[in-house]
Structure 1
Amino acid sequence: MHKLKSNIGWLIDKSPYNRTDLRYRYNKSAVTISNWCTGKSYPSAIELFDLALLLNCTVDDLYERLEEEDVD
């Protein structure tokens, strides 16, 4: 079994945008954006591709796949 580690928070920090910008762009709550950043929930496929474009990365860059032994 594999788990995904979110890189979204780190990518936001590197970008000219902040979490509030994402809240308004995607019409989401602060909790939802925080959950995207921590991997507790995930953007939709459409949001993933838009987020990657916004953050100047690929969809693959948004997450890392962890091996089972790396999962807490």
Structure 2
Amino acid sequence: MKKLKSNIGWLIDKSDYTREELRHRYDKSANTISNWCTGKSYPSAMELFDLAELLGVKVDDLYERKVEETD
């Protein structure tokens, strides 16, 4: 099974931005930003492109595909 692994938290932590600043930029709750960072929820397509530009990365860099083994 393929799953997306979020790199958003790591990219924010190495950027000049804080999660609080992103919370205000996107008018989201702290919980929503946390969920973006852990992959429990996802930004909209427009937010993904804006976030990638803000962090100086490509949209593809925000996530990576991970294959999970099933029994």
The residue aligned with 2:56 is 56
Name the structure 2 match of 1:20.
Answer: 20
Q: CA deviation at 1:68?
A: 2.7
Deviations 1:4-63 (A, max 9, x none): 000000000110001001000000000000000000000000000000000000000000
- Distance (whole Å) between structure 2 residues aligned to residue 68 and residue 9 of structure 1: 21
The runs of 5 or more residues in structure 1 that have no matched partner are none
> Residues 1-72 of structure 1 correspond to what in structure 2 (within 5 A)?
1-69=1-69
User: After TM superposition, where is structure 1 displaced by more than 4 Å over at least 4 residues in a row?
Assistant: none
Gapped regions of structure 2 (runs ≥ 5):
none
Question: What is the count of residue pairs matched by the alignment?
Answer: 70
TM-score using structure 2 length:
0.95
Alpha-carbon separation, structure 1, partners of 2:45 and 2:4: 15
Other structure's SS at 1:43 match: coil
Query: What is the DSSP-based 3-state SS (H/G/I as helix, E as strand, rest coil) of the residue aligned with 2:64?
Result: strand
Same amino acid, percent of matched pairs: 77
- CA root-mean-square deviation: 1.1
Q: Give me the whole-angstrom Cα distance separating, in 1, the residues matched to 2:68 and 2:9.
A: 23
